Amino acid sequence: MAVIGMDSVAPLLETERLELWVPRQGDLWAMHAIVTDPATGRFLGPSHAPAEHFLRFSRNAGSWLLYGYGSFIVRERGSGELIGHCGVFHTFRGLGEDFDDSPEAGWVLRHDRVGQGFAREAMTAALAWFEREHGPRRIVAMIAPGNAASLGLAHRLGFTPLRDAVLPDGEAVCLLERLP
């Protein structure tokens, strides 16, 4: 464990096949390579430019510092290979009071790791950690309507539809929530 703020300690979560780490500076470009792969990035919005990725990555780091939680970097146990990120983070998206200023769940896996249960394994661990550390709370999620795999996983994790929305860039999304 490492100190991430004056009173916060960065957890390391381990599952049968994975290690979940708080992001480090050196993870920035490995995650950029994952989200810019067309097979992965097609559900992540229109821009994966380095500057936009840096802002998203930094927003997550800020979530850890300010709120004591954020997305974890997901690595395969044993190899240390970075295969994605997942977790619960805090952000404002301009989508209204029923969504903004709430803990938000999200997950992104490298395209060659999709469909192998890694996202469910990682998110199950991340959600359990979040509940232990921050208590049972309502958590929201945002998923592209065409992303059937993520919508299915969200359902298996206990998320239910909240409403459909349109992001400021015009992208349609499904908003979901998971109640305590």
The enclosing domain of 77 has a CATH number of: 3.40.630.30
Query: Can you give the pTM of this predicted structure?
Result: 0.91
- φ, ψ at 148 (rounded to 5°): -60, -40
- Pick from 131, 136, 64, 138: which is nearest to 98 by CA? 138
Give the dihedral sign, CA 163/138/98/171: negative
The count of domains in the chain is: 1
Which range marks the domain in which residue 165 is found? 2-178
From first to last of its 180 residues, the chain has per-residue pLDDT tens of 444 444 455 789 999 999 999 999 999 999 999 988 877 777 776 667 888 888 888 888 889 999 999 999 999 998 989 999 999 999 888 999 999 999 999 999 999 999 999 999 999 999 999 999 999 999 999 999 999 999 999 999 999 999 999 988 888 999 999 999
Residue 96: CA count within 13 A, CB half-sphere:
10
Please state at what angle helix 50-67 crosses helix 28-36, rounded to 10 degrees: 130
